[in-house]
Amino acid sequence: MQLQFLGTSAGRPTKERNVTSIVLAMPEPHNFFWMFDAGEGTQHRLLETRLKLNKLERIFITHLHGDHLYGLPGLLSSRTYNEGSGPLHVYGPKGLRSYIECVFQTSKTHLNYELEVIEVEEGQIFSDDSFTVEAAELDHRIRCFGYRIEERPRPGQLNVDLLSRLGVLPGPSYGKLKRGEDLTLPNGQIIYSSEVVGQPVKGRIVTILGDTCPCDNATSLAKDADLLVHEATFAAGMEEKAAAYGHSTILQAAQIAADARVKQLAVTHFSSRFDSTEVDALIQSVNAVFSNVVAAHDFLELSVPKQITS
């Protein structure tokens, strides 16, 4: 899994940072990516990456503030010109459907692909054989969600040495055992999957939060995540101002990461008052609370490695 930031500024773009958007490229054999928020100019940022709109499968909008949303209609419209664009699913708070419908009706926009808009509530909002997505409401000035993307566990490692001694050759039999099915040999001997396959390997967890003050749901969504993306609009010591605007300081983000026992924290959504040097200083200021923290910048890519097999 590969996460890339397309915009990392709070409220409005700057010369160095566009407003919020994040993409998550899914691992092989999946050949698609998901997007989280689409602030104004997102499709322009996307043009500077290797990603193509016809490979975009799902969009998750955290809330309906413009710096997270205003790029969505243009992106949806442009996607219709990408050959091979299949169905697209867009998730977000109540009001998202009427927003899209109003813009498209007013501008007489027509799409040549299927668009499904899902207005979410708390709980599991997506599930397939590979991933689940959970949404929970955060503490912001308007209704805002965070999303927890969880990869399903992978089968454990085959004990190929033992299978070789038992006379089982590589091929369909290996696949059957990996799927948890027992195998009967021609001589009648039964090889039990549980005896030749290691423990399932825990899937990866990525948590992407929208704008928020510190809250219990932020911690629960982030619990044991491999990567947490958390806003850090303000510096430590500006907690009163952050609360007034429904945001967090970098110190509060670091505390959430520590409390949730995440492996890595990426902070984003920086106020335009901070230049790159000041952002670096913000990171240094929270090392005592949480050390594995990185300041996001536009086009930063972060890999989320697989768990070590058992």
Report the half-sphere exposure of 106 (CA within 13 A, side-chain side).
7
The answer to the question of whether 65 is labelled as a binding residue is yes
The answer to the question of whether 230 is labelled as a binding residue is no
The residues carrying an active-site annotation are 67
DSSP states along the chain: -EEEEEE-BSSS--SS--B-EEEEEPPTT---EEEE---TTHHHHHTTSS--GGGEEEEE-----GGGTTTHHHHHHHHTTSTT---EEEEESTTHHHHHHHHHHHHT---SS-EEEEE--SEEEEE-SSEEEEEEE-BSSS--EEEEEEEPPBP--B-HHHHHHTTPPSSHHHHHHHTT--EE-TTS-EE-HHHHB-PPBPPPEEEEE-S-BS-HHHHHHHTT-SEEEEE--B-TT-HHHHHHHT--BHHHHHHHHHHHT-S-EEEE-B-TT--HHHHHHHHHHTTTT-SSEEE--TT-EEE-PPPPP-
Note if the bond before 29 is cis, omega within 30 degrees: yes
The answer to the question of whether 247 is labelled as a binding residue is no
The answer to the question of whether 211 is labelled as a binding residue is yes
Rounded distance, CA 204 to CA 150, Å?
6
The answer to the question of whether 67 is labelled as a binding residue is yes
Residues contributing to the annotated binding site: 63, 65, 67-68, 140, 211, 269
Residues contributing to the annotated binding site for Zn(2+): 63, 65, 67-68, 140, 211, 269
